[in-house]
Amino acid sequence: MANYPKTPGFTGTLRPLRFEGDIHDLEIDGEVPPQLNGTYHRVHPDQQYAPVFETDQFFNGDGMVALFHFENGRIHFKQRFAQTDKWKLEREARRALFGAYRNPLTDHESVKGRIRGTANTNVLVHAGKLFAMKEDSPALLMDPMTLETYGYTDFAGKMKGETFCAHPKIDPVTGNLCAFGYAAKGVLTRDCHYMEISPTGELVQETFFEAPYYCMMHDFGLTQDYAVFHVVPITSSWDRLKAGLPHFGFDTTLPVYLGVLPRHGDAGAMRWFKAPTVFASHVMNAFNDGTKVYFDTPVAKNNMFPFFPDWHGAPFKPMESQSFLTRWTVDMASPNDSFDKVERLTDLFGEFPRIDDRYASQSHRHGWLLVSDREKPFEGPGGRASGLIMNCITHINFTNDQQTTWWAGPQTIVQEPCFIPRGPNAPEGDGYLIAVLDNLVTNYSDLAIFDAQRIADGPLARAKLPFRMRPALHGNWADASKLAAA
Ligand SMILES: [Fe+2]
């Protein structure tokens, strides 16, 4: 029986969805630009069975992958579970066997030592395969069109580390998929590895390094010459796991580091720059000009994750949890280990930053992010697991610092957006922005399509789903030409 706990993580906005199915030709309001041919995949956590613990983290859900297939003005929908090893073992047992989030000590004896990954954080097409990713485990490969699961990959035995991050970047110059993993030699280890995977799916580089301390290394920055890693004190220990505490806690006594690894040198040339403690998770983009490295990330003064509480028991401080897009600059030629510059780029409280990914690792002129405007009325129940109400999308033109915002209305929250170029030769930022909108009152979701630089005009079209999606983490667009080349 699938009886879920009557706790905030499994009721209301976060009620399990678990729906697998297909809808041919979604109902559409407006007109979908007919030249948009390709796929938008996104993934959300969705426990297949009731969790072992009532207080289970949102991030512990099984990956549910959705595909919006754009075809000549039409959009077809498909949704399937990522069939991880965990999912298969639990399907066979007809109940949850894996215990608490990132705590293998809580697993059923029958699954000890098995891969605990849920493939619930990000999905991205590379080398003709859909990579479904969770940072505590290898990447799971799926078919991008059928959503059939192939299984975990170690790249024909070449990947020696155990983990693969959920925020890899495609270098637009080489076409390589650039990724890393932390806890690469086991749970709680400080070992990390940086990897590049060729456009045909071969692992062509794996470089190991050690982080200053173990922490949730959720995202990273890629430049043309460097891989850049921010270490913020969302940390853990075996004592925490033995005590049954949430895997992560935020330790304000530890400093922040920014590690800069030359992509094509050896790990011995890596440098760690140090700064006072703040919170940062996602990376909008990074780039370098010679030895100067620029790293754009939303930064909050204190912990943003109430579900990963303060290490020393301090109460969660909502006002200090607001993040503002910030540029960190460090210089590989600097004789000291401090940051060169810290510069706030906007006063809007935002997260889930995106760019035109054709400019990943290079200087970018356009960016988009979800914004929480608390001045606006809100009629729905709580939004994301974090309690955040992301009710706006903002476009920032960095050439003139112009910011334009679209508010989704009093009933709706917005999921992470994704940029699609207008065509293969369109200038940077010229194209469309898509995002799933969740109406928390009517309980329907739409996939909305905006003109990316005219966000304030509202959606050009909405593809309407006959239900409400669970809040997702991340997703990506793949042009049809990328799928045909597979
Ligand atoms: Fe993320």
- Please tell me the distance between residue 472's alpha carbon and the centre of ligand 1 in angstroms: 10
* Least confident stretch, 1-10, 320-329, 434-443: 1-10
pLDDT of the residue at 385: 64
With contact defined as beta carbons under 8 Å apart, do 228 and 287 qualify?
Answer: no
Ligand 1 centroid to Cα of residue 167, in Å, is 7
Say yes or no to pLDDT of 312 above 90.
Answer: yes
pLDDT tens-digit profile of 362-373? 999 999 999 999
Q: What is the pLDDT of residues 404-444, one digit of tens each?
A: 999 999 999 999 999 999 999 999 999 999 999 999 999 99
76 and 110 in contact (C-beta within 8 Å)? no
The predicted model gives 345-359 an average pLDDT of 97
The alpha carbon of 39 and the centre of ligand 1 are apart by a number of angstroms equal to 20
Q: What's the 166 CA to ligand 1 centre distance in angstroms? A: 7
Q: How many angstroms is it from 122 CA to the middle of ligand 1? A: 7
Pairing mode of beta strands 129-133, 418-421: unpaired
Find all residues with CB under 8 Å of 360, minimum gap 6, and list them.
169, 170, 171, 172, 222, 285
What is the predicted pLDDT for the residue at 265? 77
Instruction: Using pLDDT thresholds of 50, 70 and 90, give the confidence band for residue 356.
Output: very high
164 pLDDT tier (thresholds 50, 70, 90): very high
Ligand 1 mean position to 397 CA, how many Å? 23
**What pTM was estimated for this model as a whole?**
0.97
Q: In angstroms, what is the span from residue 163 Cα to ligand 1's centroid?
A: 15
CB 137 within 8 A of CB 163: yes
* pLDDT at position 310: 97
Average pLDDT score over residue span 202-212: 98
Confidence at residue 1, expressed as pLDDT on a 0 to 100 scale: 60
Q: What is the mean pLDDT of residues 153-175?
A: 98
pLDDT in tens, 18-58: 999 999 999 999 999 999 999 999 999 999 999 999 999 99
Round to whole Å and give the CA distance between 42 and 477: 9
Taking residues 222-248, report their average pLDDT. 98
Q: What is the dihedral of CA 312, 314, 316, 320, to 10 degrees?
A: -100
Determine the average pLDDT of the residues in 104-113. 98
Calculate how far, in angstroms, residue 218's C-alpha sits from the geometric centre of ligand 1.
6
Query: Can you list the positions of beta strands (E) in 198-340?
Result: 203-210, 221-222, 226-231, 234-235, 249-250, 256-262, 271-275, 279-280, 285-289, 292-300, 323-331
> Comparing 16-20, 162-166, 333-337, 376-380, which segment has the lowest mean pLDDT?
376-380
Give me the pLDDT at residue 12, please. Answer: 87
